[in-house]
């Protein structure tokens, strides 16, 4: 009986708080990437695989993450139709994940203050 009451209370709380925590969800996949540093440039696309292409999960209430990583990074906001997520907690650098207003294209750029940059472009879809 206590268990049923606790379960009902937890369910009620989840239902009431869901609208407050719900963000837009996107599933994104890289189609090309480039890594630039003092040693040169590496690229990836459908013809060349010099750097690993990734899949991403974006939840505008939590930030973004690689599909194979559990923790989210950054904070997201929507401005003029663009979803822009920024992370300044990246070790010695920062990152920006931006989804176009058409909700189907993105760019992700990591900037390492040690003079390296890594950028990906790709496609997104909503579930």
Q: Let me know if residue 5 belongs to a domain.
A: no
- Is the per-residue pLDDT at 117 higher than 80? yes
Q: Which domain holds residue 49?
A: 23-125
Q: Let me know if residue 119 belongs to a domain.
A: yes
Report pLDDT for 106. 98
Signed CA dihedral, 119, 24, 76, 105: sign only: positive
Percent of the chain with pLDDT over 70: 83
Domain count, the chain: 1
Residue 9 to residue 78: CA distance in whole angstroms:
33
Q: Let me know if residue 110 belongs to a domain.
A: yes
Q: Are 51 and 35 in contact (CB under 8 A)?
A: yes
Q: Let me know if residue 111 belongs to a domain.
A: yes
Q: What are phi and psi of 18, to 5 degrees?
A: -55, -45
Q: Let me know if residue 1 belongs to a domain.
A: no
CATH number of 38's domain? 2.40.160
Q: What is the mean pLDDT of the chain?
A: 85
Q: Let me know if residue 9 belongs to a domain.
A: no
């Amino acid at each position: 009986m206590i268990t049923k009451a606790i379960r009902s209370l937890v369910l009620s709380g989840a239902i009431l708080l869901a609208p407050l925590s719900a963000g837009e969800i996107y599933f994104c996949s890289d189609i090309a990437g480039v890594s630039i540093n003092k040693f040169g440039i590496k690229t990836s696309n459908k013809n060349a695989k010099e750097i690993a292409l990734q899949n991403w999960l974006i939840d505008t209430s939590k930030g973004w993450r690689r599909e194979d990583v559990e923790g989210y990074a950054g904070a997201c906001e929507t401005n003029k139709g663009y979803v822009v997520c920024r992370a300044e907690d990246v070790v010695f650098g920062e990152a920006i994940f931006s989804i176009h207003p058409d909700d189907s294209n993105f760019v992700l750029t990591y900037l390492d203050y040690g003079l390296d940059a890594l950028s990906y472009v790709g496609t997104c879809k909503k579930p």
